[in-house]
Structure 1
Amino acid sequence: MDFAPEETHLALQRMANDFARQEILPAVEDIDRQKDPAVRFPAALLEKGSRLGLRTLALPEERGGGGADLLTLCFVGEEFGWGDLGVASTFAQDWCVSRALGGICGEAQFADFSSRFAADHAAHLTRTELSANPPAENWMPYAPDAEEADEDIPAGAASEGDGWALSGFASHVMNGAAARWILVSVDSGDSDDSVGEEGRRAFLVDAAEGGGPRVSRHHDPMGMRSCQDVALAFEDLRVSDSSEIPCESGAWARAVPSFFALPASAALGCARRATEHATGHARERVQGGKPIIEHQTVGFMLAENLMEMTAARRALQAAAWAADQDGFNGEVPDLRESYLTRVFVSEACERIARRSMEVWGGAGYMTEAPMERFVRDMTSFMHSGVMMNSLRARAMPLI
């Protein structure tokens, strides 16, 4: 086993770090302070990254992308997460869905999608599942428009002529309003929970055709504020027959590692930057006649950060490397490792962010200090996409 960085990894890592320093960092403070969640999405910033080839890194080279494997994407994702967890999560979502489509679509279908996605620098991707009822959290008694809660819409995909009509709700869809293509799955009544998607009917919805789904709510998360969090309503949305994805047996399973490893790599970057701020502050802040980094309590916290961050990074890289090897060999990846690695890395990063804030003492949670945003971002991350105990539950039958 050898997942040490190669020159390709290091070159892309340097490019991503330069982009984070020069483009992401100067922009994210203003984005974070925006009051209206509907206008926070940094489309111009992401387009700059796209023109450098960063948005399409996960596409094969012959399809106009960078041809990066999962391990390479983890190196790049950490650098973006160092810049901003929300921006990194948007790129990670594009990579995840790109890799998933490469595994589950037919060759002609994927070629058609890839050519259009690579050519449109403003295009982004997302993924969601449809449910029959508007999720309870979309109706909030304290919200000004709470009385305008959506009516129930039966979830499903009905065949109509030469296409399909999609109906249902989707809650907390990352970048759902900005996405050009949405990978939608609908329960066909024969779902396998250990894989999460087998037995579901899937479609690739082009939101530019037919108007796309309706955005029924822009949520306002406490962190990751550069990343959209919306609720979508599919109301008999017409899609063509060519939009359906065949979902061959085992195809979804091969997509699982990307959906869990890449967001975790972004979280690792956020934790790394929090630790850097904490360490710098501890070297400069003097109490009792010496820098607080020389106080045992503070030193212990920083040592704990380094220990957890190193272990989390190695665990993530090992899982990504193993998934790449399975992909090269045409084997189904170890889903248990994907689930549990995401849990381990995510929870370690949340602890690192909180511990780093504590190093700053009473000043740490003030909005003028940099630390509180890392804690907000990691708290939002832990509640976005999938809950950690849900992944533990998925891993249980595989033990």
Structure 2
Amino acid sequence: MGYILNKDQMDIVNLAKDYAVKKVMPLVPELDNAPELTPETEEGKKLLDLYQGAVDLGLTTLEIPEEYGGLGQDYYTVAAAYEELSKVDAGFATAVAASSLGLKPILQHGNDEQKKLYADFLNGEKTSEKAPVPGFCAFCLTEPDAGSDASNSKTTAKKVGDEYIIDGTKCFITNGGVASVYTVFAVTDKTKGVKGISAFIVERDREGVSIGAEENKMGIRLSNTTEVIFQDVHIPADHLVGEEGKGFIYAMQTLDLARPMIGALAVGIAQRGIDEAVKYAQVRQTFGKPIIKHEAIAFKLADMDIQTEVGRSSIINFLNKYYDERKNGRYNYSREAAICKCFCGDMCVQVALDAIQILGGFGYSREYPVEKLVRDAKIMQIYEGTNEVQRIVISGQITKKH
């Protein structure tokens, strides 16, 4: 693949790959078709065991520096590892990646104590009595009236003495029901618009934190997605991340770094589509020869491979820009992040559809894995900012530049 990784980096990638293939893959058909994956069901318990295995291997601490107890990996390695997880199941990969999403604001803007606190939660040293599995966190930004327009947030955080009191409801929160700790964005000053939003650390065990119903999703069913409700939740003032009023900026910076990781999940889906299509096309025969020998199929596979490799290259291009900018203390990589997420999201949907077309009627059947790829792929155009929003970001950057 396009990543140029050394042996130590490849060891991490292969660790993720081996776990996904040996442990996750055998359970995917059963869990994907389960009507419910709540902790009370047998299928839900099996999923929690898979989550626990990922924590035990350190897959939720890939980005955490070694001084805080993490694996201290660079984002090239993380993206390549996420691709391998997503090739097996994009829902499981989403759950692992979402813990890193909640972590990113803390790593970028938290103090040492906050980084250590979060690290302890993600490596399982600190946990919640209410969380069904240790080692997961969640990024709580989206609300019923504040999805693409995060500035329309209604959740509030009121400063009272040496505490903040948080009230509000977050929705479509990945890991919402399994997280031990949350990164929550709330309004501290309604008069200042986006400049009145702040970021906070909220532990699951805080009184007033509750979980809504789990979403019954079309795809990525091995990820947990719920409402998270905060009702008169008291947290210490030292749980404020960074500065008051900077939360919206922190959220946007986090999403700029997270969107290429969604690109990596999308590339994983696309690569699995190619792998399944090639495997089928080599054995399916029409007119006296394998269909891969027919130009119509061979060229379709070539186009799928071209698009997937370009998507992978867009992730690498973003990371090159990211590290160059951060070395100089800048955050100017929104354009590259949006291009990467938008292209990879659109690309993986088309590649998954092409995989179905190559398998024909078998591709449409649930006996084969490719129909699932389409169901999983569609969310790549929606979460972490819809692809329409990405085009707004890109066009805005073009206008700004010229």
The normalised TM-score by structure 1 is: 0.87
Q: Which residue of 2 aligns with 1:219?
A: 215
Is the Cα contact below 8 Å between 2:16 and 2:85 reproduced in 1?
yes
Alpha-carbon distance in structure 2 between the residues aligned to 1:380 and 1:397: 24
Verify: 1:260 aligned to 2:256, yes or no. no
What do residues 338-381 of structure 1 show as CA deviations (whole Å, max 9, x unaligned)? 11211011111111111111101122111112111111111233
Letter in 2 for 1:303: A
Aligned to 1:25: 25
Partner of 1:207 in structure 2? Answer: 204
Distance of 1:3 and 1:274 partners within structure 2: 20
Is the deviation greater in 364-373 or in 30-39? Answer: 30-39
Q: How far off is 1:167 after superposition?
A: 1.5
Residue 239 of structure 1 is matched in structure 2 by: 235
Deviation of residue 97 (structure 1)? 2.4
Query: Is 1:104–1:245's contact at 8 Å kept on the other side of the alignment?
Result: yes
- In structure 2, the CA distance between the partners of 1:131 and 1:222, relative to structure 1 (3 Å rule), is closer
Cα offset for 1:282? Answer: 0.5
Is the Cα contact below 8 Å between 1:130 and 1:170 reproduced in 2? Answer: yes
Among 141, 151, 158, which residue is 1:129 paired with? 141
CA deviation after TM superposition for structure 1 residue 251, in Å: 5.1
Higher relative contact order (CA 8 A, sep 6+): 1
Structure 1: runs of 5 or more not aligned: 136-152, 193-197
Stretch deviating more after TM superposition (259-268 or 303-312): 259-268
Which of residues 57, 75, 80 is equivalent to 2:85?
80
1:162-241 residue pairs with structure 2 within 5 A? 162-187=162-187, 188-189=189-190, 190=192, 199-210=196-207, 212=209, 214-241=210-237
Q: Given that residues 208 and 230 in structure 2 are in contact (C-alpha distance below 8 angstroms), is that contact kept between their aligned partners in structure 1?
A: no
Contact between 1:128 and 1:184, CA under 8 Å: does it hold in 2?
Answer: yes
* Deviation, structure 1 residue 168: 1.7
Residues 252-287 of structure 1 show CA distances to partners (whole Å, capped at 9, x for unaligned) of 554343311112212211211111011110010001
Partner letter of residue 128 of structure 1?
Answer: C
Deviation at 1:131, TM superposition (A): 4.5
CA RMSD of aligned residues (A): 2.4
Runs of 5+ unmatched residues, structure 2: 127-132, 148-152
Query: In the alignment, is the contact (CA less than 8 A) between 1:217 and 1:231 conserved in 2?
Result: yes
CA offset digits 1:151-187 (Å, max 9, x no partner): xx96311223331221122121111111111111124
Contact 1:37 / 1:219 at 8 angstroms: preserved in 2? Answer: no
Q: How many residues align?
A: 375
Task: For 1:262, give the aligned amino acid.
Answer: M
Which deviates the most, 263-272 or 378-387? 378-387
Could you list the per-position Cα deviations for residues 107-157 of structure 1 after superposition, in whole angstroms to 9, with x for gaps in the alignment? Answer: 22222332343224722111122648699xxxxxxxxxxxxxxxxx96311
Q: 1:315 to 1:191 in 2, by over 3 A?
A: farther
Alpha carbons 1:171, 1:230 under 8 Å: kept? yes
* Correspondence 1:45 to 2:44: no
Corresponding residue of 1:395: 394
The one-character-per-residue Cα deviations of 1:311-358 (angstroms, maximum 9, x if unpaired) are 111111121232123223322231111112110111111111111111
Rounded Cα–Cα distance in structure 2 between residues aligned with 1:19 and 1:132: 36
Aligned 8 A contact 2:106 2:115 in 1: yes
